[in-house]
Amino acid sequence: MQFMLLFSRQGKLRLQKWYVPLSDKEKKKITRELVQTVLARKPKMCSFLEWRDLKIVYKRYASLYFCCAIEDQDNELITLEIIHRYVELLDKYFGSVCELDIIFNFEKAYFILDEFLLGGEVQETSKKNVLKAIEQADLLQEKTETMYHSKSFIGYKKAY
């Protein structure tokens, strides 16, 4: 996988992970182009498209689009399920995840992704093992403050 982008219906980038070296300028250009392309597609269309010399695999979950760029020989369907497994991981960790969880805890979203995918390849597919790594980290953590926001003021539809 070359990169993964999460963006909202409004085109706001929520998470970006690049597995190939690119300049910031190029990253911004790619993001702009892809967000536009993907948002323009209709709901029943297929989840794959050719883009430059890459294949784009995307799926929408509630207000968020998950979008991966893979190489020619990579498997589209398994990439769709990479996306789904990542959503499941986020969901399990945050407890029915929604876009706001990812906005306010973006660092956690990155940490979970790093446990699941590394260097663009699947590292660990077991939900238990991935979350174990993250939970351990939370246990190691010494200070606990109460979170600023609580779920109650989120007016968003849940992801599932």
Partner 1 sequence: MPAVSKGDGMRGLAVFISDIRNCKSKEAEIKRINKELANIRSKFKGDKALDGYSKKKYVCKLLFIFLLGHDIDFGHMEAVNLLSSNKYTEKQIGYLFISVLVNSNSELIRLINNAIKNDLASRNPTFMCLALHCIANVGSREMGEAFAADIPRILVAGDSMDSVKQSAALCLLRLYKASPDLVPMGEWTARVVHLLNDQHMGVVTAAVSLITCLCKKNPDDFKTCISLAVSRLSRIVSSASTDLQDYTYYFVPAPWLSVKLLRLLQSYPPPEDAAVKGRLVECLETVLNKAQEPPKSKKVQHSNAKNAILFETISLIIHYDSEPNLLVRACNQLGQFLQHRETNLRYLALESMCTLASSEFSHEAVKTHIDTVINALKTERDVSVRQRAADLLYAMCDRSNAKQIVSEMLRYLETADYAIREEIVLKVAILAEKYAVDYSWYVDTILNLIRIAGDYVSEEVWYRVLQIVTNRDDVQGYAAKTVFEALQAPACHENMVKVGGYILGEFGNLIAGDPRSSPPVQFSLLHSKFHLCSVATRALLLSTYIKFINLFPETKATIQGVLRAGSQLRNADVELQQRAVEYLTLSSVASTDVLATVLEEMPPFPERESSILAKLKRKKGPGAASALDDGRRDPSSNDINGGVEPTPSTVSTPSPSADLLGLRAAPPPAAPPASAGAGNLLVDVFDGPAAQPSLGPTPEEAFLSELEPPAPESPMALLADPVPAADPGPEDIGPPIPEADELLNKFVCKNNGVLFENQLLQIGVKSEFRQNLGRMYLFYGNKTSVQFQNFSPTVVHPGDLQTQLAVQTKRVAAQVDGGAQVQQVLNIECLRDFLTPPLLSVRFRYGGAPQALTLKLPVTINKFFQPTEMAAQDFFQRWKQLSLPQQEAQKIFKANHPMDAEVTKAKLLGFGSALLDNVDPNPENFVGAGIIQTKALQVGCLLRLEPNAQAQMYRLTLRTSKEPVSRHLCELLAQQF
Contact residues toward partner 1 (CB under 8 A) are 13, 16, 19, 21, 23, 25-26, 28, 42, 44-50, 53, 73, 75-78, 80-82, 84-85, 92-95, 101, 103-108, 110-111, 114, 118-129, 133, 136-138, 140-151
Taking the least distance from each CB to partner 1, the nearer of 9 and 149 is: 149
Contacts of 8 by beta carbon, 8 Å cutoff, 6+ apart: 14, 63, 64, 65, 99
Q: Shortest gap between Cβ of 30 and partner 1 (angstroms)? A: 13
Q: Is 123 left (phi over 0), alpha (psi -120 to 50) or beta?
A: alpha
Q: Shortest gap between Cβ of 125 and partner 1 (angstroms)? A: 5
Counted residue by residue, the chain has a size of 160
Taking the least distance from each CB to partner 1, the nearer of 34 and 101 is: 101
**63 touches 11 (CB < 8 A):** no
C-alpha–C-alpha distance, residues 100 and 149, integer Å: 10
C-alpha–C-alpha distance, residues 137 and 20, integer Å: 27
Taking the least distance from each CB to partner 1, the nearer of 62 and 81 is: 81
Q: Shortest gap between Cβ of 33 and partner 1 (angstroms)? A: 15
Q: Shortest gap between Cβ of 72 and partner 1 (angstroms)? A: 9
